[in-house]
Structure 1
Amino acid sequence: MYAEEIAMPKTGYAPENARSATQPTGLASTEAGAAGYAGLDTWADAQILSAILHGQQRAIAAVGATLPAIAAAAGLAADAISGGGRLVYLASGSPALVSLGDALEIPQTYGVPRNRIVLIFAGGDAIFHNLTGAEEDDGAAAERAVADAALGPADCVLGISASGSTPFTVAGLAAAKAAGAKTVAIASNAGCPLFASGDVQVLLETGAEVIAGSTRMGAGTAQKAALNMISTLMGVRLGHVHDGMMVNVTADNDKLRARAARMIGQIARVDDKAAREALSRTGGAVKTAILVAAGAEGPDGARALLEETGDNLRRALDRLSGR
């Protein structure tokens, strides 16, 4: 019964036509309307929501088509962090808000120092309270922000724009590339200006939105998925993931301390009491605590093992066990 209620409308909507409406010549796909959504405002709620859901599903499918580029972007990000550089998020409008969630999670989830994650957003911190569009047109402001951040060859910059033509993001990524930084351009329109400055180009072909031009929807979903994948693969490549566990998490509340204790117990094969004691001895450093619980000669010995193995827990455990 419920499945029937949310089924696509029999008239007025055709998924295959979601990108096919006649549009002015040269109009970006992210700005286009689609014939399949004609009359949408007259549909039943379940039909509207079904169309929106289909748009989200198309967006996720678009991410799957660009996995090699996402992997290359994650490699540049990991190289920057492991080499002492920074990971920079450059965006305006909705992509800035999408980027913010990803950026703020990295220090918490993977223990990357907060000063190694840089945000360059049109309008600065003010957009967290009042998101307006005028700042997106100020390319000079982006160039100043890049100069103020003193970006250079050690850094990696992710430039995110649905259209790929936002002046702030286009100018900022070009300035970052000119400064020698590694650059990743993420956009939803092939041949867009942003790609001219990308060492890696991540094309998320999400097509027309259900609500024409509302790129916080499909394009935003694709951006979030792509950024999640870039930052997560970066964490894996940095050695901060072991058997699907975030072993470099900053355990600064009860939930995360309990999670850390479970990881220590599972990996080192000790009980909860021993796991928590190891976590206490290491000041909350999870990788170090795992090695202590597994038999390393105290926190100093565990830290030495990690230093010798490039902060990679698996290699450190292998060395500890003599493998």
Structure 2
Amino acid sequence: MLKTETPSTAHPDLDLYELPQLISAFVEDQLQAVAAVRAAGPQLAQAVAAALPRIQAGGRLIYAGAGTSGRLCVLDSVELYPTFSWPRERALALIAGGQEAMFVAVEGAEDDQAQGARDVQGVNIGPHDVLLALAASGGTPYVLGALEAARGAGALTIAFANNEGAPVTAAAEIGITLDTGPEVISGSTRLKAGSAQKMALNTFSSSLMVRLGKVYGNLMVDLKASNAKLLRRAVALTMRATGADEAQARAVLERCDFQVKVAVVALRRQVSVEAARQLLDQAQGRVRQALDAG
């Protein structure tokens, strides 16, 4: 039996627990998700290093999964735009059962290996693209079909599974095992297996964006200020990075469509917004290099 399906020996009487003990059992078990992602650190670093040149060459991040794993794929892909201004068309999520499966379980969709291949082929995957394949069990047919099609098209394939020796990690160029073990509720991989997948995807995509110059220091200077909260955040980040007061920061941001990178360079270099954009273009969008340019 797969580890993720094996009943937990730690909590055989879960249904008898008093509420504080029940809450504690769920919370404490999540620590194994952190440990699993930490153990996979070398493989995650390998994955980022392999993906970087393909993405720099214009490739896309394409995610594939089913059920909870598929929904986590969608979540990671969607959040890259507001956080890093990553183009939506360069972060695509494929979920077994289609968009409907985000909200309603589409029974049997994960068992259709041919559909996984068709979905990947349908987005015209190519050699510059990176497929991120997720399957808690590690044997989801839909995900295996997606991997097969992606490898056939020359894309980089990276697979995440929560069981050792999983078919999906064996089928990918880079396999990442998140060994979270049995769940508190037997087989419910929406628990710590899902938490580990979320952390691993966050780590991978955030590290990739840092390497692409989307971060200055530890500040998210390439966010898309698309709502009131993010507009306030853009002002705060600009103030933090430059030492400018709120009025100065807001004035420059208003002249550059609230692009924090541009405002930071303009204020720190004491140049116009247009000159700041040119410096960033010459530095391939990297704030630190634009500030240090002669």
Under a length normalisation based on structure 2, what TM-score does the superposition of the two structures give? 0.96
1:199 partnered with 2:173: yes
Which letter maps to 1:116?
Answer: R
Q: In 1, are the aligned partners of 2:269 and 2:291 still within 8 Å (CA)?
A: no
Aligned twin of 1:268: 242
SS where residue 201 of structure 1 aligns? Answer: strand
Aligned twin of 2:159: 185
Aligned twin of 2:4: 30
Cα deviation per residue 1:112-135 (whole Å; 9 max; x = unaligned)?
A: 111111111101100122113310
Instruction: Determine the C-alpha separation between the residues in 1 that align with 2:240 and 2:21.
Output: 46
Aligned twin of 1:20: none
Q: Using the TM superposition, name which of 253-262 and 138-147 deviates more.
A: 253-262
- Structure 1 residue 300: Cα displacement: 2.3
Q: In 1, are the aligned partners of 2:74 and 2:94 still within 8 Å (CA)?
A: no
Instruction: Determine the C-alpha separation between the residues in 2 that align with 1:274 and 1:93.
Output: 47
Q: In 2, are the aligned partners of 1:81 and 1:116 still within 8 Å (CA)?
A: no
Q: 2:14 aligns with which of 30, 40, 50?
A: 40
Q: Using the TM superposition, name which of 89-98 and 48-57 deviates more.
A: 48-57
1:211 partnered with 2:220: no
1:103 partnered with 2:54: no
Q: 1:117 aligns with which of 71, 91, 101?
A: 91
Instruction: Determine the C-alpha separation between the residues in 2 that align with 1:234 and 1:150.
Output: 22
Whose radius of gyration is greater, 1 or 2? 1
Q: Using the TM superposition, name which of 70-79 and 226-235 deviates more.
A: 70-79
Q: 2:52 aligns with which of 51, 54, 78?
A: 78
Note the residue ranges of structure 1 that are not aligned, 5 or more in a row.
Answer: 1-26
Question: Does the C-alpha gap of structure 1 residues 40 and 265 become closer, same or farther in structure 2, counting only changes over 3 Å?
Answer: closer
- Structure 1 residue 240: Cα displacement: 0.8
Which letter maps to 1:200?
Answer: I
- Structure 1 residue 296: Cα displacement: 5.2
1:50 partnered with 2:24: yes
Instruction: Determine the C-alpha separation between the residues in 1 that align with 2:117 and 2:167.
Output: 16
Aligned twin of 1:132: 106
Instruction: Determine the C-alpha separation between the residues in 1 that align with 2:54 and 2:93.
Output: 15
SS where residue 6 of structure 2 aligns? Answer: coil
Aligned twin of 1:244: 218
Q: Using the TM superposition, name which of 93-102 and 76-85 deviates more.
A: 76-85
1:144 partnered with 2:118: yes
Instruction: Determine the C-alpha separation between the residues in 1 that align with 2:198 and 2:137.
Output: 15
**Superposition RMSD on alpha carbons, in Å?**
1.4
Aligned twin of 2:34: 60
Cα deviation per residue 1:251-281 (whole Å; 9 max; x = unaligned)?
A: 1222211211122222222221111111111
Runs ≥4 residues deviating over 4 A: none
